[in-house]
Amino acid sequence: MNWDQIEGNWKQFKGKVKEQWGKLTDDHIDMVAGKRDQLSGQIQESYGISKEEADKQISDWERKQQEYRSGSH
Protein backbone atom coordinates (compact mmCIF):
# COMPACT_ATOMS: atom_id res chain seq x y z
CA MET A 1 0.00 0.00 0.00
CA ASN A 2 1.32 3.41 -0.81
CA TRP A 3 0.35 6.76 0.60
CA ASP A 4 -1.77 7.58 -2.49
CA GLN A 5 -4.09 4.72 -1.51
CA ILE A 6 -4.35 6.05 2.04
CA GLU A 7 -4.98 9.57 0.80
CA GLY A 8 -7.60 8.35 -1.67
CA ASN A 9 -9.43 6.46 1.07
CA TRP A 10 -8.84 8.97 3.85
CA LYS A 11 -12.35 8.66 5.29
CA GLN A 12 -11.72 4.95 5.88
CA PHE A 13 -8.36 5.60 7.54
CA LYS A 14 -9.36 8.49 9.78
CA GLY A 15 -10.48 6.17 12.58
CA LYS A 16 -7.26 4.20 12.41
CA VAL A 17 -5.25 7.43 12.59
CA LYS A 18 -7.25 8.45 15.66
CA GLU A 19 -6.58 5.04 17.26
CA GLN A 20 -2.84 5.40 16.67
CA TRP A 21 -2.49 9.07 17.63
CA GLY A 22 -5.22 9.71 20.19
CA LYS A 23 -4.07 13.25 20.92
CA LEU A 24 -5.13 14.34 17.45
CA THR A 25 -8.58 15.85 17.41
CA ASP A 26 -11.16 15.27 14.70
CA ASP A 27 -10.39 18.80 13.48
CA HIS A 28 -6.67 17.93 13.19
CA ILE A 29 -7.51 14.78 11.25
CA ASP A 30 -9.92 16.64 8.97
CA MET A 31 -7.25 19.30 8.28
CA VAL A 32 -4.77 16.58 7.34
CA ALA A 33 -7.16 15.41 4.61
CA GLY A 34 -4.88 12.50 3.72
CA LYS A 35 -1.74 14.58 3.25
CA ARG A 36 1.24 12.79 4.77
CA ASP A 37 3.22 15.97 5.48
CA GLN A 38 0.19 17.49 7.21
CA LEU A 39 -0.20 14.39 9.36
CA SER A 40 3.48 14.55 10.25
CA GLY A 41 3.13 18.20 11.27
CA GLN A 42 0.08 17.53 13.43
CA ILE A 43 1.83 14.62 15.17
CA GLN A 44 4.93 16.73 15.79
CA GLU A 45 2.85 19.53 17.26
CA SER A 46 0.56 17.35 19.37
CA TYR A 47 3.28 15.07 20.75
CA GLY A 48 6.26 17.45 20.83
CA ILE A 49 8.44 15.15 18.73
CA SER A 50 10.83 15.69 15.84
CA LYS A 51 9.88 15.45 12.19
CA GLU A 52 12.09 12.36 11.90
CA GLU A 53 10.28 10.62 14.76
CA ALA A 54 6.85 11.58 13.39
CA ASP A 55 7.81 10.29 9.94
CA LYS A 56 9.08 7.04 11.48
CA GLN A 57 5.81 6.57 13.36
CA ILE A 58 3.83 7.21 10.17
CA SER A 59 5.97 4.72 8.23
CA ASP A 60 5.48 2.09 10.95
CA TRP A 61 1.73 2.74 10.96
CA GLU A 62 1.61 2.59 7.16
CA ARG A 63 3.36 -0.80 7.24
CA LYS A 64 0.84 -2.09 9.79
CA GLN A 65 -2.02 -1.01 7.54
CA GLN A 66 -0.43 -2.91 4.67
CA GLU A 67 -0.02 -6.03 6.80
CA TYR A 68 -3.61 -5.79 8.02
CA ARG A 69 -5.01 -5.36 4.52
CA SER A 70 -2.96 -8.25 3.16
CA GLY A 71 -4.23 -10.53 5.91
CA SER A 72 -0.89 -11.18 7.57
CA HIS A 73 -1.80 -9.65 10.93
**Which structural domains are found in the chain, ordered by start?**
3-68 (1.10.1470.10)
Q: What is the pLDDT of residues 2-54, one digit of tens each?
A: 889 899 999 999 999 999 999 999 999 999 999 999 999 999 999 999 999 99
The whole-angstrom separation of Cα 59 and Cα 46 is: 18
Query: Which class for 60: exposed (0-12), middle (13-18), buried (19 or more C-beta within 10 A)?
Result: exposed
What is the predicted pLDDT for the residue at 70?
Answer: 76
Q: Which contacts (CB < 8 Å, 24+ apart) does range 11-19 have?
A: 13/65, 16/61, 16/65, 17/61
- pTM of this prediction? 0.88
Q: What is the pLDDT of residues 52-63, one digit of tens each?
A: 999 999 999 999
What is the predicted pLDDT for the residue at 68?
Answer: 78
CB contact at 8 A, 64 and 19 = no
